[in-house]
Amino acid sequence: MTQLLRRPFGTRGEVHRITPADAGWRYVGFALHRLQPGDEVAGATGDREVMLVMVEGKAAITAAGQEWGVLGDRMSVFEKTPPHCLYVPGGQNWQAVAETGCTIAVCSAPCHGGHPARRIGPDGITLTQRGTGTNTRWINNIAMEAEDYCDSLLVTEVFTPAGNWSSYPSHRHDEDDFPRITYLEETYYHRLDPADGWAVQRVYTDDGALDEVMALRDGDVVLVPRGHHPCAAPHGFGLYYLNVMAGPRRHWRFVAAPEVAHLM
């Protein structure tokens, strides 16, 4: 069975690489680069579209035959300011040269050639409250359904205050039966504040065939191939994550877990 919890495999350069082949699924790819000033990273999109997310720090970006200047602003995700991102369609090259220490996420999914390269954020991304009480969390929609920037990628950031839950009430999006539910694979890139903290994510199906409860550390990635996927941040530790979802259609429709359906 695919290992769902992925620790970073390095501290500089590429530290995560999730490919569909490695994950045992068909759509979502996720890589993460941690660069020092002057470091370079480059890629070719091929038959996939890519969303470059400046998670932290600044880098000069060239992509799709254009210079996009220095992208990035916040030096810590916990500043909670909106991210600078760049959408790069299939069949293009991209390159980033770090201006400061920086963390760049490369979110990818199959493309159909429908969208041009473009900057996304920080303008137009507004931190928005979702949920109430201890289920309050704060969302930066980078490219969800309402943002028609991509062929198949859905990308969002979530800030879960210490002591709260998110991706909750538990829900799944693992069947292709639109409009009731859509099939979307998903990755979570997790960060903790302070960084020596921890949080918890459970990935489980209604029949219990999949049921994993994972202790998350700063910088971990979790794969959600199916099932419900709630997160909890303990008192004292704020949780940030970057979600990437993709599937055969670009709609996020989910079904609640039976035990929490009344909370929806």
Ligand X SMILES: O=C(O)C[C@@H](O)[C@H](O)C(=O)CO
- Residues forming contacts to ligand X in the complex (CB under 6 A) are 130, 137, 156, 158, 166-167, 173, 186, 229, 243, 254
Instruction: Work out how close the CB of 228 gets to ligand X at its nearest, in angstroms, rounded to a whole number.
Output: 9
Instruction: Work out how close the CB of 186 gets to ligand X at its nearest, in angstroms, rounded to a whole number.
Output: 6
Of 152 and 166, nearer to ligand X (C-beta) is 166
Of 108 and 156, nearer to ligand X (C-beta) is 156
Distance CA 82, CA 100 (A): 18
Distance CA 83, CA 191 (A): 15
Spatial contact of 193 and 232, defined as CB atoms under 8 Å apart = no
Instruction: Work out how close the CB of 40 gets to ligand X at its nearest, in angstroms, rounded to a whole number.
Output: 31
Instruction: Work out how close the CB of 210 gets to ligand X at its nearest, in angstroms, rounded to a whole number.
Output: 16
Distance CA 25, CA 2 (A): 10
The closest of 30, 34, 32, 31 to 12, measured between CA atoms, is 34
Of 130 and 180, nearer to ligand X (C-beta) is 130
Distance CA 187, CA 153 (A): 12
Of 35 and 185, nearer to ligand X (C-beta) is 185
Instruction: Work out how close the CB of 154 gets to ligand X at its nearest, in angstroms, rounded to a whole number.
Output: 8
Of 45 and 243, nearer to ligand X (C-beta) is 243
- Does the N-terminal peptide bond of residue 194 adopt cis geometry, omega within 30 degrees of 0? yes
For residue 76, list its beta bridge partners.
Answer: none
Of 117 and 125, nearer to ligand X (C-beta) is 125
Distance CA 55, CA 85 (A): 9
Non-local CB neighbours of 55 within 8 Å, separated by 6+ positions: 32, 77, 83, 102, 103, 104, 105, 189, 242
SS (H, E, C) 200-234: EEEEECCCCCCEEEEEECCCCEEEECCCECCEECC
Instruction: Work out how close the CB of 51 gets to ligand X at its nearest, in angstroms, rounded to a whole number.
Output: 15
Instruction: Work out how close the CB of 141 gets to ligand X at its nearest, in angstroms, rounded to a whole number.
Output: 9
Of 7 and 130, nearer to ligand X (C-beta) is 130
